[in-house]
Amino acid sequence: MTDATAVDEAPARPATVDLAREYESSGVAQVLRELDAELIGLAPVKQRIRETAALLLVDRARRDMGLAHETPTLHMSFTGNPGTGKTTVALKMAGLLHRLGYVRKGHLVSVTRDDLVGQYIGHTAPKTKEVLKKAMGGVLFIDEAYYLYKPDNERDYGQEAIEILLQVMENNRDDLVVIMAGYADRMDRFFSANPGFRSRIAHHIEFPDYSDDELLRIAETMLANQHYALDPAGRQAMADYIAQRRTQPHFANARSIRNALDRARLRQANRLFETATGPLDAAALSTITEPDIRASRVFRGGLDVDRAAQG
């Protein structure tokens, strides 16, 4: 085959692009619809995800047309309090990037410091490299990333993990996206102490706390997914619980609500065992009432601590 023949058989570049059609056919629209359906609130986060999707769609269109392009830097920072949906959004982002062809597999590997940093010499590099190997072709989500850096401990091996991460983020950015997450103030200090990360992360997305009304909707959605419901008095009690609980230490947004509902279901089960005098129907087994909520220590001036929210 001559060079001329090879040129003649090269696929023609499209002259135009219908971005609306690409938006639907790529599956991006479906991912964003799922994000809207599964996550209550978070309007600024959803807007940033849409903007990122638009950037990637245009970049792909330019590539298909043969225009000059450079793979955008897609490493991200998610900042916000616990329980604001950062892990869920990271999972959706992995799916979006896969649909657009920016990662090969579209899976999410979620880790913390303990998964990357060893406790003795020679242990950190193999641990970090093994995690990176599992994450290649997808998204690596590092929760509370600032714990990698402990400058006050000269025997700490976090710096070794940081150096490996920085190298891979630069050299493999066409096959791996790293999302670092944590409290905003701690992440700022972490980036200040490790400027290599800041220069490699182009997208900084802040996750706001949920409002009281959003938390109540989240509570009802969580219960509905388990085929439970609040009766009217129980719903008001839950609204009062949310208003008081969020003023206490260690409040973790949706995570604290989930823990509160687990305890309410426990109280409901005990109430039914102690008070039922005959057969119970499905409604009785599935209804959370006011006493199930107001038995919380929050209404007695106590501290309702979620152990999972203290990290």
Model pLDDT for residues 52-81, shown as the tens digit of each residue: 888 888 888 888 888 877 778 899 999 999
% of residues, the chain, pLDDT over 70: 93
**Number of other CB atoms surrounding residue 127 within 10 Å:** 20
| Mean pLDDT, the chain, whole residue set | 89
Q: Is residue 199 part of a domain?
A: yes
288: β partners? 230
The domain that contains 219 carries what CATH number? 1.10.8.60
Instruction: Kindly state whether residues 216 and 261 are assigned to the same domain.
Output: yes
Instruction: Kindly state whether residues 90 and 124 are assigned to the same domain.
Output: yes
Residue with tokens 């009785």: 284
Instruction: Kindly state whether residues 139 and 250 are assigned to the same domain.
Output: no
Instruction: Kindly state whether residues 171 and 289 are assigned to the same domain.
Output: no
Dist CA 184 CA 144 (whole Å): 10
Instruction: Kindly state whether residues 297 and 272 are assigned to the same domain.
Output: yes
Domain final residue, candidates 207, 223, 243: 207
Mean pLDDT of 37-62: 90
pLDDT band at 309 (very low <50, low <70, confident <90, very high): very low
Domain final residue, candidates 147, 182, 207: 207
Q: What dihedral do alpha carbons 11, 15, 20, 22 form, nearest 10°?
A: 10
Give 272-282 pLDDT, tens digit per residue. 999 988 899 99
- Predicted confidence at residue 171, as pLDDT, reads 92
The domain that contains 156 carries what CATH number? 3.40.50.300
Instruction: Kindly state whether residues 238 and 153 are assigned to the same domain.
Output: no
- Predicted confidence at residue 11, as pLDDT, reads 67
Domain final residue, candidates 173, 207, 241: 207
- Predicted confidence at residue 284, as pLDDT, reads 95
Give 86-143 pLDDT, tens digit per residue. 999 999 999 999 988 889 999 999 999 999 998 888 899 999 999 999 999 999 999 9
pLDDT at 287 over 60: yes
pTM for this model (two decimals): 0.85
Full domain range(s) for residue 246: 212-309
Q: Is residue 52 part of a domain?
A: no
Q: Is residue 26 part of a domain?
A: no
Helices (H), ranges, 26-85: 28-38, 43-64
Instruction: Kindly state whether residues 95 and 196 are assigned to the same domain.
Output: yes
Split into its structural domains, the chain has a count of 2
Q: Classify the C-alpha dihedral 91-85-230-265 as positive or negative.
A: positive
pLDDT at 311 over 70: no
Q: Which residue has the higher pLDDT, 35 or 132?
A: 132
